[in-house]
Amino acid sequence: MNPARVRRFLTDLKKGKLTIDETLSKLKLLPFEDIGDAVIDHHRELRRGFPEAILAEGKSVDQIARIAKKMKQRGSNVLITRLSPQNARELKKKLPELDYHRLARIGLILGKRIEKQGKGTILVVCAGTSDLPVAEEAALTAQVLGNEVDRLTDVGVAGVHRLLAQKEKLTQARVLIVVAGMEGALPSVVGGLLARPVIAVPTSVGYGASFQGVAALLSMLNSCVPGVVVVNIDNGYGAGCAASLINKS
């Protein structure tokens, strides 16, 4: 509650500029005003250098194009996730500057140069070939958000030595994103080796009782390694954002 503002209401009431009912209804709205003040300043700060993203899934090409144009006009970089090849082709007709990354299923419109803001390297570790689209979504997101990104691919727990052979890369990262489907054990093994933040990303890779990634998700949430944190199934974009927030802190 902003005391100055309430004092003004009371003065106006006393002076007869407001009736009791008007004053009462103004008091009812106080939390709205308070929140508004609090948020708006902050929001400006938040938006600095942070491109807004569009989740293409569940939107028509027309809707995507309309939103992207608005963002572009405001000078934002535009990042479109889960963009299918077909939709990318159609979208490109409306937005020729669109840059489509097929493996990551990401469309980019980069008006501003990306400046490196992260303090270290983000390493994206990927269990198997089929997990690559999600890993690439994470890696590309982190890059667009201004981070140095490294990749480590096809190092599942079935052959732990393949992972360990890459100790250089592992120990040099400041933040790790570990992407795995099926039994989702890789983040636990990686997390057990290093004193770095590990963001685990379950993928929907698998069949039967993997339940489209639920097995991997539960595995990661129940990791016996403390400090492993988890994002939604296939949510490479969210992992890239989280890693970026950490890397910039």
Q: Does 85 bind a second copy (CB under 8 A)?
A: no
Using an 8 Å Cβ cutoff, are 49 and 35 in contact? no
DSSP state of 212: G
Stretch that binds a second copy, among 69-77, 90-98, 106-114, 240-248 (CB under 8 A): 240-248
- Residues binding a second copy: number (CB under 8 A): 121
Q: Does 5 bind a second copy (CB under 8 A)?
A: no
Residue type, 105: R
Q: Does 234 bind a second copy (CB under 8 A)?
A: yes
Beta bridge partners of 106: 101
Binding residue for a second copy (CB under 8 A) from 3, 75, 113, 115? Answer: 3
Total Cβ atoms within 10 A of residue 182:
23
User: By rule CB under 8 A, what string of x and - marks binding of each residue 29-68 to a second copy?
Assistant: xxxx-xxxxxxxxxxxxxxxxx--x-x-xxx---x---x-
Total Cβ atoms within 10 A of residue 130:
15
Contacts 24+ apart (CB under 8 A), 203-210: 203/130, 203/131, 203/134, 203/179, 203/233, 203/234, 204/233, 204/234, 205/128, 205/130, 205/131, 205/181, 206/181, 206/182, 210/181, 210/182
Q: Does 108 bind a second copy (CB under 8 A)?
A: no
Q: Does 245 bind a second copy (CB under 8 A)?
A: yes
Binding residue for a second copy (CB under 8 A) from 85, 132, 144, 179? Answer: 132
Binding residue for a second copy (CB under 8 A) from 104, 138, 178, 182? Answer: 182
CA 168 to chain centre: 27
How far apart are CB 152 and a second copy at their closest, in Å? Answer: 9
* Three-state DSSP class for residue 69: helix
User: By rule CB under 8 A, what string of x and - marks binding of each residue 13-32 to a second copy?
Assistant: xx-----x--xx--xxxxxx
Residues 193-212 that bind a second copy (CB under 8 A): 193-199, 202, 204-212
Q: Does 91 bind a second copy (CB under 8 A)?
A: no
- Do β-strands 106-109 and 78-81 pair in parallel, antiparallel, or remain unpaired? antiparallel
Binding residue for a second copy (CB under 8 A) from 106, 127, 144, 178? Answer: 127
